[in-house]
Amino acid sequence: MTNIFDILEQHFDEMVAIRRYLHENPELSHEEVETPKYIAAYHRALGHEVREGVGGRGVVATLRGGQPGKTVALRADFDALAIQEQNDVPYKSKVDGRMHACGHDGHTASLLVLAKALNKIQDEIQGNVVFIHQFGEEIAPGGAIAMIEDGCLDGVDVIFGQHLWAPVEHGKIAVCEGPLMAAADGFYITIKGKGGHGAKPQETKDSIYIGSQFVVNAQQLLGRRISPVKPAVISVCHFEALNPFNVIADSVKIKGTARVFDEETRELIERELEDVLKAACLVMKADYEYDYVRGYSAVINDRETTRFFIEQARQTPGVEEVVICEPEMGGEDFAYYLEKVPGTFYFTGARDPEKEEAYPHHHPKFDIDERALLVAANTLAKATLEYLKQHAVSSVI
């Protein structure tokens, strides 16, 4: 078979050019217009079957190999964030208040050029490859569910996806079997007390005190109501009582997030956070509103597929090390693809080891080591072609 890695390396400059073009022209989640047009036009120029508007703003392209076989899906997201870029680079965002601060520009560039490379060996491919370009990942409900409902996984046997990952050095792949990223939920609370003068708290239903009790007591769920061997995070991230220094507020607003890996713990937190709130309000005879909003499900990698992927990644040019990582508490709607078909999601190291400081994802100075684009494409190519080869339809009767 033609060396796919040589083809990809020959087109590395194109990957960088596409990534920088997309970086200069970011579009926010669920507002993407020009980006999906660009993606669709690229695939059409390759002669692929293309569906636009999948699930709303998604693009799905299909490459049918020259020989029959299984179907592999590869997914890349393409939305940006509402962040003002602070990098002084030639490809800085041209749109005020918008920035590719999470690497989705790179995801798209790698997948597009991989599609071109696979096109050059189409006759040798033993099956089909579906390229899923997803909108709206950054803002729930995301784009994955809508695209799945619109048929993006129809006929797909396995799926692979990757995230360019700043915490990991270039040349490394980080992945694990089973849970990789957490379910990401939010809770929104209003405590309705009775305000009054700070000098006479006995005449109030002190919403600030009640809220403080909730913040402290919510942490008791961890390790007391939730098994200590089950990872879970409960974080209060917003506490609002906008009153003068000597006035106890009528009401308090609290917002926070809960992160878990299993549904049993998720249901327990949803239920018992309200019990903690109810108990705090009962003492002061206050009322409350409680809204628990489920975000993305946990990303659970298929164990067999992930063992296969790890084996392939270790044989991939540009991969110096495959790190079996700890699960991340961040969320990703790739989870929904994995609920439908077996697959693997992994992190491609995108931090330049020569730089002293690497800014995290969603930071206004976030950037990537662009060499990671090639590693991402190489690993997806290796997993795809080897999977199709191992599951090829025999021509012997």
Which residue positions form the known binding site for Mn(2+)?
102, 104, 138, 163, 362
Which of 214, 217, 219, 251 minimizes the C-alpha distance to 235? 219
Distance CA 69, CA 60 (A): 19
Which of 251, 233, 235 minimizes the C-alpha distance to 243? 251
Q: Is 137 left (phi over 0), alpha (psi -120 to 50) or beta?
A: alpha
Question: Of 32, 77, 137, 369, which residue is the catalytic one?
Answer: 137
User: Do the strands 67-77 and 158-169 form a parallel or antiparallel pair, or are they unpaired?
Assistant: parallel
Q: What is the residue-wise DSSP string for 288-350?
A: EEEEEE--PPPEEE-HHHHHHHHHHHTTSTT--EEEEPPPBSS--TTHHHHHHS-EEEEEEEE
Decide if 123 is catalytic: no
Distances in Å between the Cα of 85 and the Cα atoms of 15, 154, 285, 294, 330 are: 21, 38, 48, 30, 22
Within 10 angstroms of residue 235's Cβ, the number of other Cβ atoms is 13
Q: What is the CA radius of gyration of the chain?
A: 24
Q: Quick check: 12 and 116 in contact, CB under 8 A?
A: no
Q: Which residues sit opposite 191 in a β-bridge?
A: 252, 288
User: By CB neighbour count within 10 A (0-12 exposed, 13-18 middle, 19+ buried), where does 239 fall?
Assistant: middle
Residue the block writes with tokens 């003002």:
84
Distance CA 188, CA 270 (A): 11
256: helix, coil or strand?
A: strand
User: By CB neighbour count within 10 A (0-12 exposed, 13-18 middle, 19+ buried), where does 320 fall?
Assistant: exposed
Q: Quick check: 318 and 171 in contact, CB under 8 A?
A: yes
Decide if 79 is catalytic: yes
Within 10 angstroms of residue 199's Cβ, the number of other Cβ atoms is 8
Question: Of 79, 105, 302, 332, which residue is the catalytic one?
Answer: 79
Q: Quick check: 204 and 274 in contact, CB under 8 A?
A: no
Query: What values do phi and psi take at 137, rounded to 5?
Result: -65, -30
Binding residues are 102, 104, 138, 163, 362
Would you please indicate which residues are annotated as catalytic (active-site) residues? 79, 137
